[in-house]
Amino acid sequence: MGNFSVKFGIDANYFDPDYRALYVKAIGETTVSVDGRDGASESDQIFIKDLVTMGLNKALTDLSSQNVSIKDLPMKSEVIKAAVNEAFAERKVAASSFALISINPDERSRERMNKIDEMKRISSMSPEEVAKMQQEAARKAQERWDSLSPEEQQRIQEESKKKAEEAMEKMKKIQEMAAALSSDAPLKKFCSNCGAPAKGGKFCGECGKPL
Residue range 127-155, pLDDT digits in tens:
999 899 999 999 999 999 999 999 999 99
How do the domains of the chain map onto residue ranges? 3-110
Between CA 71 and CA 75, with CA 72 as vertex, the angle to 5 degrees is 135
The reported pLDDT for the residue numbered 163 is 93
In CATH terms, the superfamily for domain 3-110 is Band 7 domain (3.30.479.30)
pLDDT for residue 63 is more than 60: yes
User: Of residues 37 and 107, which shows the higher confidence score?
Assistant: 107
Confidence bin at 189 (pLDDT 50/70/90): low
Please tell me the distance from the alpha carbon of residue 23 to that of residue 14, in angstroms, as a whole number.
Answer: 6
Mean pLDDT of the chain: 89
Q: How many Å apart are CA 123 and CA 121, to the nearest integer?
A: 6
